[in-house]
Structure 1
Amino acid sequence: MPVPVPPLGSYQHVPETKENLDWAELVTVDLTNYDTPEGKQEAAKTLIKAIRDKGFFYVKGFDIPQEKVNRQFALGKQFYELPLEEKAKYTPEGLDEGKFNGYVPAGRRIVDPETGLRDNVEIYNIPKFNGDFPHNHPPIIQERLPEIEEFAKDLHSKVLDPLYTLLALALELPEDYFTKIHSYPVKSEDHFRYMKYNKRPLEENAKIKSWIRGHTDLGSFTLLFRQPVAALQIRDPLTDEWKWVKPQDATITVNSCDALSFLTGGYVRSTIHRVTIPPKDQQHVDRLGLLYFSRPHNHIQLNTITDSPVLQREGFTQNDFEKSGNPVPTMEDWTFKKQKWQRTRKTEPAYYTATIVPGYQEKIYDKDSAELQPVLRQLAQATVA
């Protein structure tokens, strides 16, 4: 007999930190007047400045009630309360080869080489509801799948489509230029995510410095719903200083990613970010994240757009692949090559600066990470030798 799924209940966010942190100064793209020509043009100007200057911004004025957002947080919390053996049933085969839909358990990465301490981050990814992907989930998720599908599609139509339209306007392209290559019915590796950073003892946090090292996201836009545990930091592109991203009420934090940077020859910034240790007044609680990763269709080749008068005027006419003379990958190839690199559990220096696809080499972005200290020492010794 099936076990009944418990009621979802309400979700209470923890209080924000009282510490005075060095917050990043990010702009807000307001979609409130998106349906008017003047509002759309103003928002397009704000968006392009945001993704040129910082690569991170807030968006508000979208028609998704906070109650629906909180229900998704409650659902994520309920999923992570399942026993590990139940969650592990939904770990995808081929995780080390770049597969990512389903459950990714914690502990796959050593974050403190001296003690062997491993990461404490759990992930559950849900792919598109467009017929291209199987949906095999635990009962807690399966019974609420129609609600999750509606929420994911709302994110696409009410947040992402407007942002892609604004980006096209800012680049003097037809309004549907980016929406046509990010259409929901077409196969792409978009996914909705519940992500849990399990709390750690203070002494462990003191050793590891950060929970996820500096990186860039591989897609187009990443949406991160407000949750009050401060931990997200960006590396300011102008100063190279790490700045905290402040949770803002009734907003989604958005960052532009690798694919948009390739498509615009580097005009759109793919900003380096990390998840660091929360301030001390929040280290006693878990950090639950609610995210959506948007990516171009799998068959799209990541060539620099040649139709944009803006990119032509500004001289952004080639991306890294084109400059190097290497073949330009499709989005599918780029996704799984980078995802495989991310999933690989290696400690050799060559891994951290690997050539993922010919023409693109990874970099070390945060030199204060405990995880990277042995690697940095080896790299320094090799340079001296």
Structure 2
Amino acid sequence: MPGTTSPSVPRWVASPPTKEALDWAELPVIDFSKANTLEGRAELAPRVRDVMRTVGFMCIVNHGLTHSQTERMFDIGDVVFSQVPEEEKIKFSSKLKEEGTRIGYKPRELFVTDNGVRDQYEQYAVHRTVFGRQKHPKALETYLPEVRVFAEHNHRDVLQNILRLLALGMEIPEETFVKMHGFDAVGDSHVRWIKYFPLTEEDEVKTNHVWLRGHTDTGTVTILYSQPISALQIQSPDHKWRWVKHIDNALVVNIGESMEMLSGGFYKATIHRVVQPPADQRGLIRLGMYYFALADDDVKLVPVDSPVLEEGIRVSEDETGLTMEELRKIRYRAFGLKEANMEAGGEEHIVENGIVVLKYYN
């Protein structure tokens, strides 16, 4: 990570944490310094297994970056929004509709949230290889070597150890899921920054103060760098929405649809949403930083062979199943772009060829 000779970068000044008394989710905190050894992973695996089968979210501390290193990556993330002209952002737009990929810029107001209201967030996604898959705006070029180191840290030091813990929880070889997430393989795992802007009061009412509808992630594992503006809510096992509390320099980790499929439902994709911040943080711009992990494009999303799965759930490798690339393209082209149908119970779904490809949870 950056040292004393790193190029200067404008500071992103984060908001103080909220002082509001919110209904906080009780997320287990995992000390990840233990995840670097076989003995440490054996100790952590049962707890991670139980957490990711029930709550579905966990917080990770001691993940290998200092507070100042994490802050600097937030600073660099802000550069791609505040230091890049709009016409240049258009030049580096993601090919979301054409190729079903999030790599590049997503402008504000591309997606419909609810009642015809357009979203108010922009994002920039950097493919994990940084240099090989895409070109970047000029303002970011100075910092690309640091972004590459950051991407590798997330992939090799954080993600791979999470995948090992998930495999141990299923009593299978710990490299099982790691082998499906090659850093240099063809796939879409990426660093992403998202910048949320406040909605108008009228649109807040129309959307019931929800900025990003309840959903599950497409990939296998999502890594969120905790930031102080409270807006993320998770659907707890009792189906109530609860706020995720900021922990300084911590990671918030959840399971996506692909891991649910690979694990035969042993691990559940977790439902979450983004809402208007509490009263003492309203009107502020919220900057998020993430690592979205997806399996390699050619991985078939069928259950692994595990003794913890019932016989009827196990599927052999030659069984027909969607590949990661196929699922990614289907869901990315649908989210916020295609009209959903209302189900009983308040859920909305998008159906293609008789298959539910995406659900929103209200």
TM-score if structure 1 supplies the norm length? 0.84
1:34 aligned counterpart, secondary structure: helix
Per-residue deviation, 1:100: 1.8
Q: Is the 8 A contact 2:255 2:267 kept in 1?
A: yes
1:119-158 aligned within 5 A? 119-129=119-129, 133-158=132-157
Instruction: State the 1:9 CA deviation.
Output: 3.0
Aligned AA for 2:335? Q
**Deviations 1:110-153, CA, capped at 9 Å, x for gaps:** 3453xx5421010111112187x532111111221111001000
Q: Which of residues 108, 111, 115 is equivalent to 1:109?
A: 111
The aligned counterpart of 1:227 is: 227
The residue number in structure 2 matching 1:332 is: 325
Output aligned runs, 1:31-70, within 5 Å.
31-70=32-71
Counterpart Cα distance in 2 of 1:254 and 1:104: 23
2:313 aligned to 317, 325, 330, which one? 317
What are the residue-to-residue correspondences of 1:355-370 with 2, within 5 Å? Answer: 355-356=351-352, 359-366=355-362
- Measure the CA separation in 2 of the matches of 1:126 and 1:230: 25
Q: Deviations over 1:86-126 (max 9, x none)?
A: 2122113453652321111011233453xx54210101111
Aligned to 1:257: 256
What SS class does the counterpart of residue 164 from structure 1 fall into? helix
Shift of 1:229: 0.7
Q: Deviations over 1:314-342 (max 9, x none)?
A: x67258xx9xxx94111111111111111
Contact 1:98 1:343 in 2 (8 A): no
Deviation at 1:7, TM superposition (A): 3.9
Match of 1:90 in 2: 92
Measure, in 2, the Cα distance between the counterparts of 1:282 and 1:213: 20
Residue identity matched to 2:326: D
Larger displacement relative to structure 2 (37-46 or 353-362): 353-362
CA drift at 1:39: 2.4
**Matches of 1:97 and 1:130, distance apart in 2:** 18
Q: CA deviation at 1:177?
A: 1.1
Secondary structure of 1:180 counterpart: helix
Task: Find the aligned partners of 1:163 and 1:285 in 2 and give their Cα distance.
Answer: 33
Mapped to 2, the partners of 1:357 and 1:184 lie a distance apart of 33
Counterpart CA distance in 2 for 1:317 and 1:348 is 29
- Deviations along 1:18-70, one digit per CA (max 9) or x if unpaired, are 11111111112222223444422221111111110011111112212222211
Contact 1:27 1:58 in 2 (8 A): yes
TM-score by structure 2 length? Answer: 0.89
Q: 2:279 matched to 1:283? A: no
SS at match of 1:161: helix
Query: 54-63 or 27-36, which moves further after superposition?
Result: 27-36
Amino acid at match of 2:92: Y
Offset of residue 358 of structure 1: 6.0
Any idea what SS the aligned residue of 1:32 has?
helix
The aligned runs of 1:152-231 (5 Å cut-off) are 152-208=151-207, 209-231=209-231
- Matched to 2:120, the amino acid is N
CA contact (8 A) 2:340 2:350 kept: no
Amino acid aligned to 2:324:
M
Question: Hey, what does 2:3 align to over in structure 1?
Answer: none
Answer whether contact 1:130 1:186 (CA < 8 A) is retained.
no
Q: Distance in 2 between matches of 1:347 and 1:256?
A: 23
Return the letter of the residue paired with 1:172. E
Residue range with higher mean Cα deviation, 350-359 or 158-167:
350-359
Per-residue CA shift, 1:128-181, capped at 9, x if unaligned? Answer: 2187x5321111112211110010001111111111111111111112111111
- How many residues are aligned here? 350
Q: Secondary structure at the match of 2:35?
A: coil
Shift of 1:204: 3.8
Q: 1:51 to 1:27 in 2, by over 3 A?
A: same
CA contact (8 A) 2:340 2:349 kept: no
1:26–1:165: structure 2 CA closer, same or farther, 3 Å change rule?
A: same
- 1:278/1:269 Cα in 2 relative to 1: closer, same or farther (>3 Å)? same
Change (3 A) 1:112 1:145: same
Instruction: Name the larger-Rg structure.
Output: 1
Alignment CA distance shift 1:203-1:260 (3 Å):
same
Q: Structure 1: which amino acid aligns with 2:85?
A: P
Deviation at 1:345, TM superposition (A): 4.1
Instruction: Report the AA paired with residue 330 of structure 1.
Output: T
Percent same amino acid among aligned pairs?
33
In the aligned structure 2, how far is the partner of 1:243 from the partner of 1:94? 31
Residues 358-379 of structure 1 deviation map (CA, whole Å, 9 limit, x = unaligned): 654433411xxxxxxxxxxxxx
Q: Which SS does the other structure have where 2:335 is aligned?
A: helix
Structure 2: gaps (5+ residues): 1-6
Distance 1:332 1:162 in 2: 23
